[in-house]
Amino acid sequence: MRLFDNLNIDFMAKRTKFYLMSSAILLLSLITIFIKGVEFGIDFKGGSEIALKFAKPINIEKIRNDVDKLGIGNVEVKTFGDASGVLLRTELQELPKNVMLNVRTSIESEIAKVFPGVDKKVTDSTASSIVYSFADPATATAINNRLNQAGFQSTLDSMEPTNTKISVRMSIADLIKISLAENYTDNPFKVEKEDRVGPKVGKELKRDAVLSVILSLIVILIYLAFRFKFAFAIGAVIALFHDVLLTLGIFAILYGVIPGFNLEISVSVVAAFLTLIGYSINDTVIVFDRVREQMKIHKTLSIEENMNHAINRTMSRTIITVFTVMLTIIALLIFGGEVLRGFAFALFIGMITGTYSSIFIASAFVLDYSNRTKTKLTF
Amino acid sequence: MKELRFRIIIILGAIALSLYLLYPTYQDSVNNKEVLSQLASYETKIKKSNPSISEVQLQEKINSIKDSILVNTPNYKSAREKRMKLGLDLQGGMYLVMEVNTAKLLEKLAKDPDEQFKQILAKAEADSKLTDENVVAIFARAMKAKNIRMSRYFGTIREEDNQIVKKLEQQETDAVTRAIEIISNRVNQYGVSEPSIQKQGSRRIVVELPGIAREEEAKKLLQGQALLEFKMVKEAEFAIGVMNKIDETLAAVNKIDSSASKSSLPKTDAAKKDEKQTEEQFAKEHPFFALARLIDPQGRVADAYVKESDRERINALLENPDVKKVMPDNVQFVYDAKPVKGNDGVNYYKMYMVNKEAELTGGVVVNAQANIDPTTSAPEVTMQMNSEGAREWARITGANIRKRCAVILDGQVYTAPTIEGKIPSGSSRITGSANMEEAKLLEIVLKAGALPAPIEVLDQRIVGPSLGQDSISKGLNSTWIGFLFVAVFMIVWYKQAGSFADVALVVTVLLQLGVLAGFNATLTLPGIAGIVLTMGMAVDANVIIYERIREELATGKTVKAAVDSGFKLSFAPIFDSNITTFFTGLILYQFGSGPIQGFALTLMIGLITMLFSQLVVVRVLFDFMLAKGYKINVG
């Protein structure tokens, strides 16, 4: 079977149209990114996330109401997997002060149940833990055991026999789990996953992500400048930048539009960006390689003619190579499950824009560059 | 033809090597199925004998049985060691990033912290949360800004600020090492299989605990201060006496059991008189000593070696009510923290009998320092105690000369030196470390009492086993389906040449998996995505070559000439385009973490194996066909 056998289109003459089209989409992307913003995942934002699987299907609305009552502010509640799974997420990493006070009251009432009027002191209290000090080690141990039975995360401050302190910890996930376990006694759940990311880690990740994207672009720029000519390298990198920005824009535009489709920027989506940078350069390289070959053979032809010829000749392989990768990406998108969906989608969009830009943007830029600066590119 | 043969041998060699590297992974999955079926039968047995057992207890029992089966069967073990590991996202487990809380450490180290100190420190701590800089550096700068010398709170008056800062940073590093030691010590006791505890950067610790079912308990492992104790080791005479009694009691219990279960088989006199006792008989008559092998047959020391896998069984034996009766309740058995490898390649732990009551706890230790004894040039550790501790220590050492005192951290023995004489000043020297590393470890352990390593959790991820299982099946599905899509397309599009591409595709993935297994890499879900993606990219080279061959054919070249120039002219673009993908893979590997690194690694390995199979395997197939005079259809 053949594709585009004797294709002969004057791509270069139409380049203004493609510039306009790209600019329009890019502008739309940029506007959406600035106005609507891209939604970052927990990896970058920091926060707490917990996915639960119930024994029986559950009503998401009801869970939302239950969680709202906890007073920990805005908690995102959505289905996870099927109807019996739920994903809860908040940007908070630690309990707010007033909730911590409630928790403290319930800890102290628990203590009062067994040791009414016991002599206790709060020696340290942070946003996620309280340290109590008691008169003697035996009391501390007994209270520690009691609190553990009640579902609190209590530990003896040290294993020394003279230790009189216990520290009780309470995280957002713990609070959610305790309260849901109370509300759904007839429908027990298992924890599918639980993530808590501090602000520091998220910040570092964000910096690393941006750095790695920029670094990849620079590496590709240097390599192509070395293999071809600097103008070609610039053209290719501009095309890549275009791809990344466009994909990011589409993520921003589509976020929240398709129900059940989680389009937030997670670490794996960034990995997809890097992969598409590395991969979508392939098509550009194939075209450039052919342009170089043409320019060596047909020294008399204009660069424009050589480019048109090269693009027309390589069109079929450009389309087919992307198509085969698309096939596997579609397999991942459909069968890869929730965790890989964002990753596969980023690649899916990136492949389309990548092919488009290597055909219509990269070479066109080289041509304009050579026309503007009046440099004659030769190999 | 000769040259062709050489290439075929290389290809077959590479395939054979991959299969060899992948075999343990296959074997391990077969073993796992066997173990699971065994466990299922144990589970029904346990449930039958004890219907009221709770889910948690049952799970614990099953897990310990599973561990002992895995450790005790050498075949299972070797396959397990060489298999391709699954990442936490696939098998479930807990991933934690922890950081030493330097602010708390500084507060502990400060001479007499006042309000001003606390204020500066609190500010430095808050600032450090937002930057990469460590608390020590920020604190030092704040002090400088306020024109207060560091020696106001740390070190001696004569020391320069930067000297003190250097020392504090050293303390911080030590605290990280200490925290790692404490965590690994506890994790090992808890029996998590294949834990990974790593230092990241200067003061972060990354802990991976696969297959943790009870996260609450696991979290507790990592919290709370470590307990350092000094306990007297029981004299050999006493300890061996007790152990003999335990052994006799257990043998008696066994006898009753066997006579009750078997219909009292008449034992032949010959077997009884046989002096060479078979191991089985020895185990029957000395159930305790069969597991706890005394180091010294003459009985001068009562330490015993216990196989790693037998520790659970010893603990179970000691729980026996009859044994409890003969075992004095003021003593206990403890194990060495680090095992020694026996001649049979199995880990053995030294077991000691010590007083249950600690003579002293680590709070009295003020400082410890590993150094080299200048006269003997052997490593030693010096230890200082506070005045209260020194007084006690003088009394204890005075009363126990020539006896051994065990240094125990969280229930594990790090060393058990003999007390040579009364130590009046509280300043002791511990010799006998095999090398400087061991001495350094002991120093860290001894400091655990005085200087806790306050750590806080920055990042915590837990994946439940069911989500992991789900991810595995989804990953496998997309691999198969992706493969099918690509393979069918290639045959439809390029006919016979397409089938060559499919052969190369299988070789690519096979080699990729083989190299991954050879690197002992961990397979993660993004890693599987990397494999799927590789399949899509792998045929790209075929497409480029085949399209070129078609073009060359169209210019009227012979098939052989067209194939030749098709391969030759395609090499540059294939190489150029793949190397850029490889570069981004490298960058991703450098910046990414955990699962993403898995993706980057699979992708990079995939690119290399793919170049090999496209440029070598496919070429050989073509050359072979052409040499044999077959026609090739490129669609």
Say whether both B383 and B511 belong to one domain: no
What band does B343 get if pLDDT is binned at 50, 70 and 90? Answer: confident
Question: In this model, does residue A93 exceed pLDDT 80?
Answer: no
Give the end of a domain, one of B56, B83, B110: B83
What band does B224 get if pLDDT is binned at 50, 70 and 90? Answer: low
What band does A49 get if pLDDT is binned at 50, 70 and 90? Answer: confident
Question: In this model, does residue B273 exceed pLDDT 70?
Answer: no
Whether the Cβ atoms of residue A332 and residue A258 lie closer than 8 Å to each other: no
Structure token digits, residue B608: 């290399």
Q: In the β-sheet with A129-134, what is the strand arrangement from edge to edge? A: A120-125, A129-134, A165-169, A153-156
The reply to whether B576 touches chain A by the CB within 8 Å rule is yes
What band does A351 get if pLDDT is binned at 50, 70 and 90? Answer: very high
pLDDT at B451: 65
B25 in any annotated domain: yes
Residue B537, φ and ψ in degrees, nearest 5: -80, -30
Would you state the CATH architecture of domain A97-169?
A: Alpha-Beta Complex (3.90)
Q: Per mean pLDDT, which of A68-82, B23-37, B208-222 is the most reliable?
A: B23-37
pLDDT at B266: 44
Structure token digits, residue A175: 């609070």
User: What average pLDDT score do residues B401-415 get?
Assistant: 88
What chain A residue is nearest to B536 in terms of C-alpha separation? A325
Question: In this model, does residue B450 exceed pLDDT 70?
Answer: no
pLDDT at B531: 92
What band does B274 get if pLDDT is binned at 50, 70 and 90? Answer: low
Distance CA B369, CA B440 (A): 8
pLDDT at B505: 93
Q: A78: which strand partners?
A: A87
pLDDT at A331: 93
Instruction: Return the number of other C-beta atoms located less than 10 Å from residue A33's C-beta.
Output: 16
Question: In this model, does residue B449 exceed pLDDT 70?
Answer: no
pTM over 0.90: no
Distance CA A16, CA A18 (A): 5
Whether the Cβ atoms of residue B46 and residue B61 lie closer than 8 Å to each other: yes
B12 or A206, greater pLDDT? B12
Model confidence pLDDT, tens digit, residues B570-580: 888 888 888 88
Question: In this model, does residue B187 exceed pLDDT 70?
Answer: yes
B48 or A239, greater pLDDT? A239
- Asked whether the beta carbons of residue B578 and residue A282 sit closer than 8 angstroms, the reply is yes
* Burial classification of residue A54, based on how many CB atoms lie within 10 Å of its CB (0-12 exposed, 13-18 middle, 19 or more buried): middle
Question: In this model, does residue B623 exceed pLDDT 80?
Answer: yes
User: What average pLDDT score do residues B536-559 get?
Assistant: 88
Task: Give the CATH number of the domain where residue B130 resides.
Answer: 3.30.70.3400
Residues 251-290 on A with a CB inside 8 Å of B are 267-268, 271, 274-275, 277-279, 281-283, 285-286, 289-290
Domain positions in chain A are 12-42+198-373, 47-94+173-197, 97-169
CATH number of the structural domain A12-42+198-373? 1.20.1640.10
Q: What angle do CA B538, B544, B545 make, to 5 degrees?
A: 100
Q: Percentage of residues in chain A with pLDDT exceeding 70?
A: 97
What band does B268 get if pLDDT is binned at 50, 70 and 90? Answer: very low
Model confidence pLDDT, tens digit, residues B243-262: 888 888 888 877 766 555 44
Q: B95: which strand partners?
A: B208, B461
Whether the Cβ atoms of residue B420 and residue B405 lie closer than 8 Å to each other: no
Say whether both B513 and B443 belong to one domain: no
Q: Percentage of residues in chain B with pLDDT exceeding 70?
A: 90
Whether the Cβ atoms of residue A255 and residue A330 lie closer than 8 Å to each other: no
Whether the Cβ atoms of residue A139 and residue A115 lie closer than 8 Å to each other: yes
Whether the Cβ atoms of residue A123 and residue A168 lie closer than 8 Å to each other: no
**Crossing angle for the helix pair B161-190 and B436-450, to the nearest 10 degrees:** 90
Structural domain harbouring B105: 96-224
Distance CA B431, CA B370 (A): 10
A30 or A158, greater pLDDT? A30
Say whether both B173 and B308 belong to one domain: no
Say whether both B290 and B344 belong to one domain: yes
Distance of CA B530 to the CA centre of its chain: 25
What band does B272 get if pLDDT is binned at 50, 70 and 90? Answer: very low
- Asked whether the beta carbons of residue A161 and residue B361 sit closer than 8 angstroms, the reply is yes
Whether the Cβ atoms of residue A171 and residue A196 lie closer than 8 Å to each other: yes
Question: In this model, does residue A326 exceed pLDDT 90?
Answer: yes
| Block residue for tokens 């290719």 | A236
Whether the Cβ atoms of residue A280 and residue A350 lie closer than 8 Å to each other: yes
- Asked whether the beta carbons of residue B584 and residue A227 sit closer than 8 angstroms, the reply is no
B614 in any annotated domain: yes
pLDDT at B71: 67
Task: Give the CATH number of the domain where residue B526 resides.
Answer: 1.20.1640.10
Domain total for chain B? 4
As a residue count, chain B comes to 635
Question: In this model, does residue B488 exceed pLDDT 90?
Answer: yes
Model confidence pLDDT, tens digit, residues A256-277: 777 667 788 888 888 899 888 8
Chain A positions touching B481 (Cβ under 8 A) are 331, 334-335
Yes or no: is domain A47-94+173-197 CATH 3.30.70.120? yes
Give the end of a domain, one of B450, B478, B500: B450
The reply to whether A315 touches chain B by the CB within 8 Å rule is no
Residues 31-70 on B with a CB inside 8 Å of A are none
As a residue count, chain A comes to 379
What chain A residue is nearest to B222 in terms of C-alpha separation? A155
Say whether both B443 and B470 belong to one domain: no
pLDDT at A239: 92
B498 in any annotated domain: yes
Distance CA B83, CA B138 (A): 46
pLDDT at B263: 43
